Amino acid sequence: MARGELLRKLFLSYRRGNDNDFRSVAIEIISEEEKKNNHHLAKDLFRILENDNVDSVNSRRFSYINSTSLPKDQERQTHLVDIREPNLHMQDILINKENTVIIQRILKEFSKSELLRVHGMKPLTKLLFCGPPGCGKTLCSEIIASELGLPVLYTRFDAIVSSYLGETAANLRRVFDYAAGGRWVVFFDEFDAIGKARDDISEHGELKRVINSFLQLLDSFSNNSILIAATNHEQLLDPALWRRFDEVMFFPRPTVHEIRSLLKMKVENFPHYGLNYKELAPKFKGLSHADVERVCFDAIKASILDDKDSLDQEVLEEALKRQKKRLDIAENASKRRKI
């Protein structure tokens, strides 16, 4: 398109207050500058546009959340999604170095997604989080959303999965249609509930149709949002699903070294003296991040209720014993269910 016509469209879209058209034309102009090898100017224009867009997105974010009714299951009239406004940051989570690098890359690519598109590239937007419960999958999704200034569209599988023929696939489509109307981190927790392998003989034909529908919806998923699917049972997932995700992250239980750091993080806001982290950390080995956090908070509450001025190692170890006992009871109950 001729330069003059582009400028005309740019001014018209500004005059009419049409943000989408204005942004579209601005990207065309940036793309032209790139083609002319005016890389510095293109990057500068994009930086200005992106900063304005962040403010614009944040200011409009609540308008479409409040004005658009949430999708519902047609039979039960239950909401299929919840909307969460996270307020967490990278310092609020303890994850390994490999996952930290991946998260930083995801944030950088998404925040500069328009610049990537100028060069014909796409950002990472479809993510699969795997690992045992309590190791940071949900927390990490909320941190990504918070760092990008996006709300979390949290899918409710108890509402999505329906006993009516064809309704589960229809509910999934309603969720994706709703997500297309805004910019979100769309979070599918307990993803194995709908993503089980299609050759699993214990599953019926309806679930296989659901997986086929999800694959189609995932393929057409918009790059204006990030989609995260999380599972505690990645071994159950259909092989075709793995290929659809741009990035797969594994969230293992913390190492002894990470437990030491986690203990320090969780007790830092309450007085504590004489805690031997080097001695304590091995005793927590095998527990999840959430388990370690629960022990720390349980110990702090016990100290407060007993009118103690600070947390000591004895109270912390007593809390650890209680948590291990709870986990043993839960494990034994699970084994009895399988018999």
Alpha helices in 36-187 (DSSP H): 39-67, 97-111, 113-118, 137-148, 157-160, 167-179
226 shares a domain with 184: yes
141 shares a domain with 177: yes
Tens of pLDDT, residue by residue over 66-85, are: 435 788 888 888 889 999 88
167 shares a domain with 44: no
pLDDT for residue 56: 45
Residue 141, domain extent: 68-250
* 68 phi/psi in degrees, rounded to 5: -105, 125
pLDDT for residue 133: 92
219 shares a domain with 80: yes
Beta pairing class for 226-231 and 126-130: parallel
Out of 24-33, 41-50, 191-200, 294-303, pick the least confident.
Answer: 191-200
Is it the case that residue 92 has pLDDT exceeding 80? yes
Sheet harboring 226-231: ordered strands across? 81-84, 152-155, 185-188, 226-231, 126-130, 247-250
Is it the case that residue 5 has pLDDT exceeding 90? no
Domain end marker among 225, 250, 275: 250
Which pLDDT band holds residue 299 (cuts at 50, 70, 90)?
very high
Residues in the chain: 339
Is residue 105 within 8 A of residue 124, CB to CB? The reply is: yes
176 shares a domain with 31: no
Average pLDDT, the chain: 84
Which pLDDT band holds residue 270 (cuts at 50, 70, 90)?
very high
3-state secondary structure of 145: helix
Specify the residue for token string 């982290």.
Answer: 277
Tens of pLDDT, residue by residue over 166-201, are: 788 889 999 999 998 888 999 998 887 776 655 554
276 shares a domain with 246: no
260 shares a domain with 236: no
Max avg pLDDT among 43-52, 57-66, 73-82: 73-82
Is it the case that residue 62 has pLDDT exceeding 50? no
Which pLDDT band holds residue 204 (cuts at 50, 70, 90)?
low
Cα separation values, 31 from 54, 56, 105, 121, Å = 20, 22, 23, 13
Is it the case that residue 39 has pLDDT exceeding 80? no
95 shares a domain with 15: no
Which pLDDT band holds residue 57 (cuts at 50, 70, 90)?
very low
Domain end marker among 209, 234, 250: 250
151 shares a domain with 14: no
Q: Which residues pair with 250 in a beta bridge?
A: 130
Longest dimension (CA), the chain: 76
Cα separation values, 138 from 37, 129, 135, 187, 225, Å = 43, 9, 9, 8, 17
Out of 90-94, 287-291, 307-311, pick the least confident.
Answer: 90-94
Is it the case that residue 27 has pLDDT exceeding 60? yes
Is it the case that residue 117 has pLDDT exceeding 90? no
pLDDT for residue 54: 42
Domain end marker among 64, 79, 105: 64
pTM of the model: 0.75
* 306 phi/psi in degrees, rounded to 5: -90, 10
Nearest to 247 by CA among 100, 94, 90, 102: 102
Between CA 145 and CA 249 the distance in angstroms is: 16
Is it the case that residue 125 has pLDDT exceeding 60? yes
Out of 73-87, 94-108, 124-138, pick the least confident.
Answer: 73-87
* 224 phi/psi in degrees, rounded to 5: -75, -10
Between CA 98 and CA 336 the distance in angstroms is: 37
pLDDT for residue 2: 67
Between CA 215 and CA 64 the distance in angstroms is: 27
Between CA 6 and CA 24 the distance in angstroms is: 10
> What CATH number should be reported for the domain holding residue 150?
3.40.50.300
Is it the case that residue 58 has pLDDT exceeding 80? no
Nearest to 259 by CA among 52, 132, 94: 94
155 shares a domain with 117: yes
**Domains in the chain, number:** 3
308 shares a domain with 198: no
Is residue 189 within 8 A of residue 230, CB to CB? The reply is: yes
> What CATH number should be reported for the domain holding residue 322?
1.10.8.60
86 shares a domain with 145: yes
